Chains A and B, each alone.
Chain A
Amino acid sequence: MIELWNVSKTYEAGNKALRNINMTVADGEFVFIIGRSGSGKSTLLKMLLKEVEPTSGKIIVNDMNLGKMPRRFIPRYRRKLGMVFQDFRLLKDRNVYENVAFAQRVIGASTRSIKESVPAMLKMVGLSSKYKFFPQQLSGGEQQRVAIARALINKPEILLADEPTGNLDGHNSMEIMKLLEEINKLGTTVIVVTHSQEIVDRMKKRVIMMDRGTIVSDEKKGGYTYEN
């Protein structure tokens, strides 16, 4: 469960990114966070990743108070989260298999475990036949699948996706969203930040809308309610 209590964030330049945010995301939920650029969506994700500290307020993730978490526990905490980016952030000098295996390698997984779990994960995202391809040989949708596979390989409890379809066409965007929905059905909490009206309207999931650092609406089966 993710809980935010009166969370505010003011950057050094005085820019107020979040103002007194209160929200709760239950285990296994699928949540869209929408809002204009600069509304504080990305800051919220960064706070959940513990990349950015709140100026005030409390964030609790799976009973862990992030504000009181010692620095040495941050890597272990981040292994419970998976992160997907708009620009995929794949390693261009490594093939599909190596990109996914990399996520396991850097947390010290054994070679045996890597050899077992990477092919299974590539099968799940539909890239088994392309495991030797390099990122530049793949379409945008395929690259995002690799990024999702990498985010999921360490079995995170929560998947955070920052504009995962921002660089994809309509068809590929829907394919990625279907994949995220399947992952959610397996029990992973999914939080997606997006600008895509089509996706939000079609998926009928919980929608939290932000504006100027505050939550302006939170609907259980919401739709896209503001003009881009």
Chain B
Amino acid sequence: MRISTFWYCLKQGVINICRNILFSLASIATVSACIFLFCLFFSIMVNVQYVVKNTESTVGITVFFNEGLDKNKITEIGNEIKQRKEVKEVKFTSAEDAWSEAKKEYFGDMQDLAEGFEEDNPLANSSSYSIFLNDLTQQDELVSWLNGIEGVRKVNYSKTAAEGMNSLNKVIGILSMLIIGILLAVAIFLISNTISVAAAFRKNENQIMKLIGATNYMIRAPFVVEGVIIGLVGASLPLIAIYFLYRSAVGYVVTKFSILSGLFQFLPVDAIFPYMAATAMSLGLGIGFFVSFFTIRKHLKV
């Protein structure tokens, strides 16, 4: 394609937008709304996943053993656990370690109060393995396997934490897909309408182009340019808004609700924005290109 032809198509695309400015603005607004919601859910989901990942590294399964179980047997069980593919990390806590931790936790600076137990460790049968998983969804499977091992007395795990995080992620995903889907359909309808109106405006011109010997591509290009511009502008506006909104929202939550910072850590805007911008721009470009391409194909049987 010649540069002059490229500029010609670009100019005609802009002229099309200006000719039906109201339709074009309505299309841009709908694409913007669609992509704004996409970015919003994207931010929420990425942060939830981040929290889930953090939780996965802190929420673990603890395995206790039958009273008087041989140390070699415990080590053997530990090796078996380590070989499971869903297991990320296994930490062994001996009865002595457990008692030492408990002393720190319960007696603090008054360690002398615990001296009476020195010869008789109250947690003598509390040696355990703390298991951390690669993925919390595999927790149930591993727990039932652990319960089946001979010598295992008790398996402690937090079912609600795993299930809560996973179902929250699922609900947000489904909800966002649903809303984005509806908005996407509206955006497709509006862009298609805008392109149809532009095609009607240019009917005479297209007819002349056809008879002069312009290729299909040359006739359709200004309409595709129009769709692409609508898509890209529609994607850029919400991205700018989301960038500042996210930054302010995170700043606000962190300063006003500092108690939450212990529970959740938000991803900084710079960490998520490049991915969000690339996805949103591709989405805008894709919607604009494909909708205009197929609409004008339907209208212009060249």
Q: Is the CB of A107 within 8 A of B214?
A: yes
How long is the Cα–Cα vector from A183 to B290 in the complex, in angstroms? 45
Binary interface profile of A, 66-79, with partner B (CB < 8 Å = 1, else 0)?
00000000111111
**Residues on the B chain within 8 Å of A106, using CB:** 209, 212-214, 218-219
Known: A91-B204, A106-B218, A108-B218. A154 touches B4 (CB 8 A): no
How long is the Cα–Cα vector from A49 to B215 in the complex, in angstroms? 14
**Which of A89, A102, A108, A111 interacts with B207 by CB under 8 Å?**
A89
What residues of chain B have their CB less than 8 Å away from a CB belonging to chain A? 1-2, 4-5, 8, 204-205, 207-216, 218-219, 302
Between-chain CB contacts (< 8 Å), 15 pairs? A77-B213, A78-B211, A78-B212, A80-B213, A91-B205, A91-B208, A102-B208, A103-B212, A105-B4, A105-B5, A106-B214, A108-B5, A110-B2, A111-B4, A154-B213
How long is the Cα–Cα vector from A51 to B213 in the complex, in angstroms? 12
Binary interface profile of A, 129-158, with partner B (CB < 8 Å = 1, else 0)?
000000000000000000000100010000
**Residues on the B chain within 8 Å of A108, using CB:** 1-2, 5, 218
How long is the Cα–Cα vector from A81 to B207 in the complex, in angstroms? 15
**Residues on the B chain within 8 Å of A105, using CB:** 4-5, 8
Q: Number of A residues contacting the other chain (C-beta, 8 Å)?
A: 23
Q: Is the CB of A107 within 8 A of B211?
A: no
How long is the Cα–Cα vector from A207 to B215 in the complex, in angstroms? 34
The majority secondary structure among interface residues of chain B is: helix
**Residues on the A chain within 8 Å of B215, using CB:** 75
Binary interface profile of A, 34-75, with partner B (CB < 8 Å = 1, else 0)?
000000000000000101000000000000000000000011
How long is the Cα–Cα vector from A105 to B213 in the complex, in angstroms? 11
**Residues on the B chain within 8 Å of A103, using CB:** 212
How long is the Cα–Cα vector from A154 to B2 in the complex, in angstroms? 17
How long is the Cα–Cα vector from A83 to B211 in the complex, in angstroms? 7
**Which of B1, B4, B5, B212 interacts with A79 by CB under 8 Å?**
B212
Task: Beyond the given A74-B302, A79-B213, please list 16 additional residue pairs across the A-B interface where CB-CB is below 8 A.
Answer: A75-B214, A77-B213, A78-B210, A80-B213, A89-B207, A91-B205, A91-B208, A102-B208, A103-B212, A106-B214, A106-B219, A108-B5, A110-B4, A111-B4, A154-B212, A154-B213
Q: Which residue of A lies closest to B215 (CB)?
A: A75
**Residues on the B chain within 8 Å of A111, using CB:** 4
Minimum CB–CB distance for B264 against chain A, Å: 57
How long is the Cα–Cα vector from A51 to B208 in the complex, in angstroms? 12
**Residues on the A chain within 8 Å of B302, using CB:** 74-75
Minimum CB–CB distance for A175 against chain B, Å: 23
Q: Is the CB of B213 within 8 A of A75?
A: yes
Interface centre among B1, B211, B218, B219 (most CB of A within 10 A): B211
How long is the Cα–Cα vector from A89 to B5 in the complex, in angstroms? 23
Minimum CB–CB distance for B89 against chain A, Å: 62
How long is the Cα–Cα vector from A105 to B4 in the complex, in angstroms? 8
**Residues on the A chain within 8 Å of B214, using CB:** 75, 106-107
**Residues on the A chain within 8 Å of B213, using CB:** 75-81, 106-107, 154
Minimum CB–CB distance for A154 against chain B, Å: 7
**Residues on the B chain within 8 Å of A110, using CB:** 2, 4
Q: Which residue of B lies closest to A51 (CB)?
A: B211
How long is the Cα–Cα vector from A204 to B253 in the complex, in angstroms? 91
**Residues on the A chain within 8 Å of B205, using CB:** 91
Give A94-114 interface residues, CB cut-off 8 Å to B.
102-103, 105-108, 110-111
Minimum CB–CB distance for A191 against chain B, Å: 15
How long is the Cα–Cα vector from A80 to B214 in the complex, in angstroms? 12
**Residues on the A chain within 8 Å of B212, using CB:** 78-79, 83, 103, 106-107, 150, 154
How long is the Cα–Cα vector from A91 to B12 in the complex, in angstroms? 14
